Chain A
């Protein structure tokens, strides 16, 4: 039986060809999904649920036991699961296609303090890597430049678009700053056992940041005759229209970074990384700092650290009462399709599944400032969601049958599924 299904599937798709999947049409007809376990993304769960969306917005979320009219196409999703689309922060998705091919790499501009660099205009809506996110439920991302001290300005996109303008969910949402390291690798001793030593220039590097922020602030208080692109780009940080994403991992670096930002009129600060944030949760709470914590599939930073510290680090922060989202900024872009499994890993450490889910849905939406429309299954929000055969946080059961972005029924095919079918078909035929 399975085999026949297989073959059918193959034939139905083989005609699709090799280009990026064509973006789906606007939702014109209501869709009702009935019977699934709905994971709302806000910590709540509805067994045997009913979800209706029309015109790209969710119009009903509740129990299938409710005797209300089903609208439009009704999808029976008994034994299946429905989730809000997962959101990947701090990624250069669409900015680089093949890491080792320089010509395909647009993620890192030269210069140290370049907040005016905007990722969105280089975002490749037709990237095969971006496309490969969707079958795992990752439907949105913060497209972020990399490198330098201040790398530039990110924008938030959805993953089914003809071009970068269509992809925009939130344009120029934040500025990304990589905090200097307190310890630096010592490269002087060529051939000899090199290691990390205190960074002699740490204070100097801090001072440069401080000076840049202060100058940006002063610039904004005047009506300058000559425009300074970099200073101008920073203004959103002072009026709260943009967030400052600070990448820092060490206890001291985090304290220095947040203190400096707060002392210099920056309204919204998000900590990205936070390897040692669990040691200073009181400080972070006092300063009302949200964290986009490192993904779990990493190694401990120090030899004596608990072997599972990266696995449980997000839980430690959640338990302390902080607003925690999950990112994999330091991983290759293609890995971002594993975002749900990074969250699943924390469940193995004792975190409640629905809370773990929040880290890649509602919490990421809140932190990125798109929670009015995305991140949960709630009435009035965008119908950006998917149906999975099983638990979407576990790799063996994360198997999508349907996904929607703003109510649009998107393709779950990719360059990869096409190759799969193409070659399975070859082998079937030559049998």
Chain B
């Protein structure tokens, strides 16, 4: 019977909606329903800020006619009285994959990578697929639609979530009664991008974050070039990109760093992306706000770690604990800072956890108005569809929710979700609320009955005197089935239809004997939620943000100071040499005075008697503070820059400060003969990446020679070059092309802007300097000869393990050497690496630096310089220069840092002992006059970290006790980057 009814209803409905005028009809007569429906006496949220009490909502043909206090109701209107109920616009999820088949991972990626694209007539890179139209593969998913409607959603904007350029999305009404003719509101609603490679494609490039960034930049350049008609072949990807450039542009970033990176890419190309956020934006709110972008916010708050096992608890880092604590406040922080965002179901485990997290965000201070905006008006605005969706203004689609009250209250019941004027029932609106306390009279005995829980899913407790009895309850369509067993195991069963006119429950009772009689339950107390609410109001404990927001971050950013070191041994790294019993004054971020008996003025005075003051250590070759190291997808990646991948929150930055390091060149790895450009940073712990990178930074690019670029040590045989002979030809080819590119550019004729060639040309023009990873003498010699052919000089050979064999040639060419102190024997090409290398090169007049290429060694570069005294008898003063002024020279920073000279940047270290000694510890590390590492402050921070961990662990234990979900403890992967790392 029920099935038949359903089928009938469906037919009726479909005939209502499918009635497209020009379609022939053969299963009946054409008929049209132009009646109105009016919902009266409701609290109506026309928009989050326009609320009508006791209003009427009038709809017709799937659209809102009017919402207001006094609405004229036409005669052909079906009126539904919803007094006491609230009506909201249905929610919109603009970051959905609804109805789109999940992309499948391409099978097996071997070690031998694929370098060529698989497509023809499209962009050269397989991960750029702007020609994808979600509509081509979209299929309405009725089951998912129902689930979404039950969560309050009426509209989704869906797309294929795969690749870097992902093509266009479609806007769908979740109307299961209609057809795609009704539901598809826009088949090209927005254009989507991300930083993730396509999982369905195997083309190697890009392998890294900076490669992806460079690819996006190049894609836009090529788009312009194509648009101007400069490419005579067909490129359907670029054509799609051009066609869709005026759509809303949405990019998946998913963390605060990539949020900012995405915005930067957009700015460079005149695009304001809407950015899919990650949930950690609260940590960099100032920068996030400054993007002026709109965001899409997933509500994927982490659940507590299960820290009940103390051995396991130790694995969870403070910053992960803190993020658990603070993530729910992210929406509030964004709102308070005026950042506009839509909320998405994306990354939520289920609609249930989505709702829980939404309510949680409100508990953490998100205003309900903002929450509603994020679910209705803002997503509509982002898509440019405000007149159609997201509100109940006249002419909008009749997409709305009927709820028992405040939609953001845990106890509110959502009754109905109407989409395009089609009703779908979530909970029976006519269901009587029978919750409360009753005197249950059964067979002349009185039991205590309590009905609680949700109206539609009540829970019963029945007590005989004070003893709780086993009972069962079921409540559907106002019919109550209740049963219980007494102490003597006698089963009583009752059935009753709840009456709308009385609170008394009465009806059929079946006695244990099977005899039928009747029962009565008299309400003694109405249900109330109050007790629970008070419990929930427990004050939230929120940890303060730190800079950076991990262990050893500071509660306030460190500030510049005026500092006077008294009576120190001062290692100037200048001609002045080592000055005993000398004072050094730091003021306004610069070295202000060096001399005897300097007066303090208002300076902070530090007694350095018996201690040593030096310039900060400079590491010419480092890979700390990076999200990614190698763009290995091509044999040249000059277009990438490490500045796109600086991770200012790498603990190794702090640990390096603890070893007296103040400047590091973050180099690209050695996966290819032409690597990427460097990021040269000051280790300003607590600042963002942009502020760490040197202002007006000299430009460097990493080159590499030898086994790594030949891919000798793993089974990869397909990429050119496989020999040192081939390496030379890569360079010859690139420099020649770079030269021709530059000539064309300078000729004033039109040219295709190619970021890679731009950099090669800059090398030829002496604007970008090469630091080349190098091992054996043949290749070192080769590169110098190649450079000479193109009339420029190699700036630095880094590693340069056989530099000692060609030190005279290096001196003649004018190239510097930045080497390891004593590494060797780890691969074939370092067989002849010797620890005397630095000393020999130095003896022949080469500017020599000692570098690390290792995040552990980098914090002991002072000791590595000490080894140069041992190996080859270099003087202490000269050895010390190898980690200060010499690397500064190699980096073209010697006018700013690297020595103690009046007027230079105050990058200064206070050591407990002779700085080349294994016994020396850095006590204070100062950059631009600001103390970024202080051994005493470090001690205090250790305590604070323990205290805060303890508080958070206790909070998480409570969370577990209260039965909330937890996750297994997890230790962050501390990526160790060397030259060879991907």
Query: What residues make up the interface of A, taking CB atoms closer than 8 Å to B?
Result: 2, 97-101, 128-129, 182-183, 185-186, 191, 193-198, 250-252, 297-300, 302-304, 306-308, 332-334, 337-338, 341, 344-345, 347-348, 393-399, 415-417, 419-420, 423-424, 427, 430
Contacts and interface: CB of A to CB of B under 8 A. Distances in A.
A197 B707 contact: no
Interface stretch (B383-391, B446-454, B824-832): B824-832
Most chain A CB within 10 A, of B311, B830, B859, is at B311
Contact of B918 (A100, A299, A347): A347
Contact of A334 (B825, B920, B973): B825
Contacts of A297: 856-857, 860
25 contacts: A2-B873, A99-B827, A100-B713, A100-B827, A183-B315, A191-B199, A196-B315, A197-B968, A197-B969, A198-B969, A297-B857, A303-B317, A306-B942, A307-B658, A334-B826, A338-B822, A348-B913, A395-B867, A395-B869, A396-B870, A415-B832, A416-B824, A420-B839, A427-B840, A427-B843
A304 B919 CA distance: 24
Contacts of B823: 334
CB-CB nearest 8 A-B residue pairs: A100-B827, A196-B971, A344-B918, A420-B836, A304-B551, A396-B869, A334-B825, A416-B834
A97 B808 contact: no
Given A396-B876, A420-B834, A299 B655 contact: yes
Contact of B804 (A98, A194, A300, A423): A423
Given A347-B918, A416-B836, A430-B808, A396 B866 contact: yes
A101 B827 contact: yes
B925 to A, nearest CB: 12
Contact of A307 (B654, B712, B912, B913): B654
A347 B973 CA distance: 31
A143 to B, nearest CB: 16
Given A100-B707, A427-B844, A302 B918 contact: no
B805 interface: yes
A222 B259 CA distance: 69
B116 interface: no
Most chain B CB within 10 A, of A129, A195, A298, A341, is at A195
B508 to A, nearest CB: 54
B973 A195 contact: yes
B312 interface: yes
B863 interface: yes
B917 A424 contact: no
B807 interface: yes
Given A191-B199, A302-B317, A396-B917, 12 more contacts: A100-B827, A195-B973, A196-B315, A196-B971, A198-B968, A302-B315, A307-B859, A341-B863, A395-B869, A419-B834, A423-B840, A430-B808
A39 B129 CA distance: 71
A348 B921 contact: yes
What secondary structure prevails in chain B residues at the interface with A? Answer: loop
B938 interface: yes
A334 B551 contact: no
Interface in B948-970: 949, 968-970
Contact of B855 (A195, A252, A299, A394): A299
Contacts of B840: 420, 423-424, 427
B971 A302 contact: yes
Contacts of A186: 970
B466 interface: no
Contacts of A332: 825-826
A98 B825 contact: yes
Contacts of B919: 344, 347-348, 394
Most chain A CB within 10 A, of B822, B870, B873, B913, is at B870
Nearest to B805: A423
Interface string B912-950: 110011111100000000000000001000100100010
Given A297-B860, A307-B658, A99 B825 contact: yes
Contacts of B973: 185, 193-196
A304 B949 CA distance: 10
Nearest to A340: B918
B319 interface: yes
Contacts of A183: 312, 315, 971
Interface string B828-853: 10111011100110011000000000
A333 B822 CA distance: 12
A419 B622 CA distance: 28
Contacts, number: 165
A399 B872 contact: no
B425 interface: no
Contacts of A394: 866, 917-919
A273 to B, nearest CB: 16
Contacts of A419: 804, 832, 834, 836
A197 B967 CA distance: 10
Contacts of B912: 348
B318 interface: yes
B511 interface: no
A420 to B, nearest CB: 4
Most chain B CB within 10 A, of A2, A128, A185, A424, is at A424
Nearest to A430: B808
Given A98-B827, A183-B315, A394-B866, A345 B918 contact: yes
B974 interface: yes
A195 B971 contact: yes
A424 B843 contact: yes
B623 to A, nearest CB: 13
A304 B318 contact: yes
A100 B828 contact: yes
Contacts of A304: 317-318, 551-552, 945, 949
Contacts of A395: 863, 866-867, 869-870, 916, 918
B972 interface: yes
Contact of A100 (B319, B826, B832, B859): B826
B314 interface: yes
Interface in B135-193: none
B550 interface: yes
B482 interface: no
Contacts of A308: 658, 921
B626 to A, nearest CB: 15
Nearest to B315: A183
Contacts of A196: 315, 970-973
A198 B652 CA distance: 25
B148 to A, nearest CB: 25
Given A183-B971, A197-B968, A347-B918, A252 B550 contact: no
A86 to B, nearest CB: 15
Most chain B CB within 10 A, of A186, A299, A332, is at A299
B807 A427 contact: yes
Contacts of B311: 182, 250-252
A430 B919 CA distance: 40
B339 interface: no
Interface in B856-887: 856-857, 859-860, 863, 866-867, 869-870, 872-873, 876, 879
A303 B312 contact: no
Given A197-B970, A394-B866, A420-B834, A303 B318 contact: yes
Contact of B972 (A128, A303, A393): A303
Contacts of A182: 311-312
B651 interface: yes
A412 B45 CA distance: 88
A423 B826 CA distance: 23
Nearest to B317: A303
Given A97-B825, A129-B825, A304-B318, A348 B920 contact: yes
Contacts of A99: 825-827
A398 B870 contact: yes
A297 to B, nearest CB: 6
Contacts of A416: 824, 834-836
Given A250-B311, A416-B836, A303 B651 contact: yes
A359 B655 CA distance: 26
